[in-house]
Amino acid sequence: MPPIDAATARPVGLRVSVGEPNREFAVGESLVATISVDRQAYVYCYYRDVRKRITQIFPNPAQNRLPLPGGRFVQVPDTTAASGFAIALERAGDEAVTCLAPEKDVLAKLP
């Protein structure tokens, strides 16, 4: 595989939405992220709860399709799946969802 030319490389266009910008969630609500990429990518998403614990939320056992095709939207967790999970906001405080979208499966290269 040829090396990547940093001068001409174009990052994958990744969009992650959890609702309206600056939306404040109430304790007891559930969080659902909508994720899309502009071209095929290996998307990995992580949730940091109010206690600073980090959990990988995508891919997950109910949603393990990788790579994610370009132009397709996916909701995490999948609210239509009976075997899905919920991201319940149980305490007040700062929480976050972060996603990465490399073109290659970088996790397969980790020891």
With 80 as the cut, is the pLDDT of residue 4 above it? no
Instruction: Say which residue, 41 or 83, is predicted with more confidence.
Output: 41
How far apart, in whole angstroms, are the C-alpha atoms of residue 82 and residue 14? 27
> Does the pLDDT of residue 6 top 90, yes or no?
no
pLDDT in tens, 18-72: 988 778 889 999 999 999 999 999 999 999 999 999 999 999 888 887 899 999 9
**Exposure of 94 by Cβ count < 10 A (0-12 exposed, 13-18 middle, 19+ buried)?**
exposed
Examine the pLDDT at 1 and tell me if it is beyond 60: no
Entry pTM: 0.84
Q: Which residues contact 84 (CB under 8 A, 6 or more apart)?
A: 62, 63, 77, 78
